Structure 1
Amino acid sequence: MESLALFFKPFFLGVSLLSPHIIVICIVSIILLYHIFSPLSAVPGPLLARYSSLWLVHHSRKGDMHQKMLSLHKKHGKLVRTGPNEVSTSDPVAIKMIYASGSKFRKSDWYSVWQGHRKFDLFAERNEDIHRTQRRLVSRAYSMESMKQLEVGVDDAVKVFLGEMAKREGEKIDMGLWAQLFAFDVIGAVTFSKRFGFMDAGKDDGSFHQIDNALISASWIGQMPWLYWLHDYLSPVIGNWLGVTARHGSLRSFAVKETESRKSRGSDHKDMLEKLLDIHHSKPAEYDWNGVLSMATSNIFAGSDTTAISISAVLYHLCKFPECKAKLMDEILDRANAGQITDSILLVDAMKMPYLQACMHEVLRLHPAVGMALPRVVPVEGIHIDGKFIPGGTVIGTNPWVIHRDTNIFGEDAETFRPERWLEGDRGHMDRFFIAFGAGARVCIGKNLSWMEMSKLIPLVLLNFDIELEDPAGEPKQNCWWFVKQEGLYMRVKRREPTPTN
């Protein structure tokens, strides 16, 4: 140690002889040189974001990234610098290239925090060849045809939800909570033929808090994944300090128990787990037991939250825009009088309700569940966007909240809730940039299940109840920790009188 100190002594002596002014000048010079020679120096954005990922960390933890990116793109245009090596884009031409099927733009290291050491993870897998193989194995189990075989589980959960609403007629109801209780019970029913029983209890078992902590944790730690892997390396000594590493908790234990119980015996259940087990039994080398468990737990973690957020947002917007709710009610009553809606509704009939489908598209346009960028890595040849060259290795992404409000795509009234836009003429351009469930080959595999739940629940809620906001003038708080949840979405329901049929 003494010899080492002698070795560095001239260096520290030289530094000590420098005046504070010279030290400041040196630091400023380094910053300016970095600013001038950085390949992203021409991309506008927050000052701190140019030099540190702490800007991303701050807004990821604060939970306002969706609104922050909206304001930054309004100020700076199609390109915004969000980190030393990261940009956000709202350029439609670039977005088509970045997220197209077969694109060379790979998912960034942000997703490694979500995947951890799991070998089978459709959401976070960054190797496109592996992802393609894994998705091909399980895609049929999530097809729309497969969803039709699972309708009975959704219908059962819908009946329970309507019953619980009837018990609370006239009361102040946290609809965000109840949408989440419903979505989790549906996932239990369609995946394991067993609801979690959250609606019956009127509360969860503590899992919601655990999942929220995991979302908050992963959102900001993903901006500095090295911290996650350092924690992973040191965890045998320091223990677990990160919520993302324990995101499944009791729900994962439930999934493990249910999956193991069917491992060595047959079953007459025609649920999602049985479909996944059939794949495992037919292709055990390609789809092992960990793959089955991974998809079962992913159903719970990802599928329930996104659906709950979307159901809450649909009900909120319909209450905020009573003329749209009235128009949808006309369509619902018309179908009820035709016998297509009774105490349940078939998915095939719900899909043929144009105004219902338009309302759902419009809500998910204005309130997509994901409120952060979908980060990808620019391939080695780079990309030109809005007259600027973005070099290979740069992290680039688009935020659904930003592109969904592009007036060139969705019209001059893109900020306005207007379901009719989805019924007017050729909507192909809007469909191409509707990324509420992701885009290209990485579109959410659970999209069909989520869409089925909304399509079946919303008409029956409105047919049975008149719903109103507790505070029509108020705005629920929005927290963006990857998913954008509404907090304090209080409503009251009143049972409707039975509608006479023709």
Structure 2
Amino acid sequence: MESLKDLEPYVDDSVKHFLGKMDEQQGRSVDMGSWVQLFAFDVIGEVTFSKRFGFMDAGKDDGSFNAIEGALRSASWIGQVPWLYWIHDFLSPVIGSHLGIAARHGSLRSFAMSEVSARKDRGTDRKDILSKLFQAHEDKPAEFDDNAVISMATSNIFAGSDTTAISTRAIIYYLLKNPEHKRRLVSEIDDMRSRGKLSDPVTLDEANNMEYLQAVMYEALRLHPAVGMSLPRVTPEGGVEIDGRFLPAGTVVGVNPWVVHRNKDVFGEDVESFRPDRWLKEDNGDMHRFFFAFGSGARMCLGRNISWMEMSKLIPTMFMHYDLELSDPEAGWTEKCWWFVMQQGIHVTMRPRHVE
């Protein structure tokens, strides 16, 4: 997390730009689900390539969202059947790619390759993620070649926008569906602001000291983790015993974050309720241990801290500036799971709050 301090000013730039675009939307019903995805994608451009992709300026993407969804759709079914994947791979020179398998290594990779090349041409004095990748390539060219740099940049684009957008949507939606919790968060924001302990935009250190904000974030991601399918692992040499059953070496096992997060033994009987207070009790170590929104252990999501930083800064800054309400308080969102559980239907009306 400490290394992200180099990137925080660039996230600030995107937060300010987002607020500027929201100022233009006052009094209208805004598709907030779409806007937070445009924001998350532009942040990836800032922190990786030192340049926003311009999606917030345009108010739409350039087709990348559909390319990502195609790749996710493929991963959600054909990615679970290895023999089908390899048959398709073998036949693809003849039949082409019709199942979205090549999306991640096709259009998205080409997009990343273009951005890496442009970043090399224009240069920068920023300590963005590419500067760190270039340094790794320079230090160990045999282990981390040009192809690896492009692959890492592609991964940032592929996984860095949707997951953050999904999580940000969840936080906003559950707060607006539960006004009493929104009021408590706004009260925490106003109290810290009045005591001179909150910047604009909110800094990461300040957000980490906002107890209720952190509880809200954990609770929203508990109820709606971005990943909606099992995260596979392979049992090690010698096999392993799980819940009293021996599984031989090489067995693929996995668990779904949605199932883990609804374990009543860990989170209590009211697992379907949005109750941030469950994270405020002193003895909640098991809850953090079983928090699986970003995976766990050695294979935890590499981008967790970047995503957490974006949300920690955007959410309190936005609620500091605006009073947000669902345009139709009775309407619910819709969800679909293509590996990630996407939401639609978060239409919000905003009014400016007076910030001293």
| TM-score tier after normalising by the smaller chain length | over 0.9
1:203 corresponds to 2:60: yes
**TM-score relative to the length of structure 1:** 0.68
SS of alignment partner, residue 467 of structure 1: strand
1:473 corresponds to 2:333: no
**Residues 248 and 301, structure 1, Cα contact 8 Å, conserved in 2:** no
SS of alignment partner, residue 280 of structure 1: helix
- Pair 154,305 (structure 1): closer, same or farther in 2 beyond 3 Å: same
CA RMSD in angstroms, aligned pairs only: 1.8
1:219 corresponds to 2:111: no
Distance 2:145 2:95 in 1: 32
The one-letter code of the counterpart of 1:257 is: S
Deviations 1:399-425 (A, max 9, x none): 100111111111222221111111111
Q: Which runs of 4+ in 1 moved over 6 A?
A: none
1:194 corresponds to 2:51: yes
Distance 2:56 2:347 in 1: 17
Partner of 2:343: 486
1:243 corresponds to 2:121: no
Find 2:130's aligned residue among 246, 261, 273: 273
The one-letter code of the counterpart of 1:174 is: D
Find 1:180's aligned residue among 18, 25, 37: 37
- Pair 177,248 (structure 1): closer, same or farther in 2 beyond 3 Å: farther
Deviations 1:132-159 (A, max 9, x none): xxxxxxxxxxxx1221111111111111
Query: Structure 2 stretches of 5 or more lacking a match?
Result: none
Distance 1:316 1:309 in 2: 10
Find 2:139's aligned residue among 267, 273, 282: 282
1:23-422 equivalences in 2 (<5 Å):
144-247=1-104, 250-261=107-118, 263=120, 267-379=124-236, 381-422=238-279
Distance 1:346 1:417 in 2: 26
Larger Rg: 1
Deviations 1:76-109 (A, max 9, x none): xxxxxxxxxxxxxxxxxxxxxxxxxxxxxxxxxx
Name which of structure 1's ranges 452-461 and 327-336 shifts more when overlaid on structure 2. Answer: 327-336
- Pair 343,251 (structure 1): closer, same or farther in 2 beyond 3 Å: farther
**Residues 207 and 249, structure 1, Cα contact 8 Å, conserved in 2:** no
1:432 corresponds to 2:289: yes
Distance 2:323 2:119 in 1: 43
**Residues 223 and 261, structure 2, Cα contact 8 Å, conserved in 1:** yes
Deviations 1:367-411 (A, max 9, x none): 110010012233464444445444444432111001111111112
Shift of 1:246: 1.7
Query: Structure 1 stretches of 5 or more lacking a match?
Result: 1-143
Shift of 1:490: 1.4
Distance 2:67 2:111 in 1: 15
The one-letter code of the counterpart of 1:216 is: R
- Pair 228,465 (structure 1): closer, same or farther in 2 beyond 3 Å: same
Distance 2:18 2:177 in 1: 22
The one-letter code of the counterpart of 1:415 is: E
Name which of structure 1's ranges 407-416 and 360-369 shifts more when overlaid on structure 2. Answer: 407-416
Shift of 1:342: 4.0
Distance 2:329 2:122 in 1: 53
**Residues 210 and 249, structure 1, Cα contact 8 Å, conserved in 2:** no
- Pair 165,265 (structure 1): closer, same or farther in 2 beyond 3 Å: closer
Shift of 1:254: 3.5
Find 1:459's aligned residue among 316, 326, 344: 316
Distance 1:463 1:389 in 2: 53
Distance 1:153 1:195 in 2: 9
Distance 1:247 1:437 in 2: 20
Shift of 1:255: 2.2
Shift of 1:201: 0.5
1:423 corresponds to 2:296: no
- Pair 452,291 (structure 1): closer, same or farther in 2 beyond 3 Å: same
Deviations 1:321-377 (A, max 9, x none): 111111111111112223333431211111111111111011111111001001223
**TM-score relative to the length of structure 2:** 0.95
Query: Identity of counterpart residues, as a percentage?
Result: 62
Find 1:450's aligned residue among 307, 310, 313: 307
SS of alignment partner, residue 355 of structure 1: helix
- Pair 440,241 (structure 1): closer, same or farther in 2 beyond 3 Å: same
The alignment covers a number of residue pairs equal to 356
Deviations 1:37-58 (A, max 9, x none): xxxxxxxxxxxxxxxxxxxxxx
Distance 2:20 2:106 in 1: 29
SS of alignment partner, residue 244 of structure 1: coil
Distance 2:13 2:122 in 1: 26
Distance 2:80 2:202 in 1: 43
Distance 2:38 2:254 in 1: 32
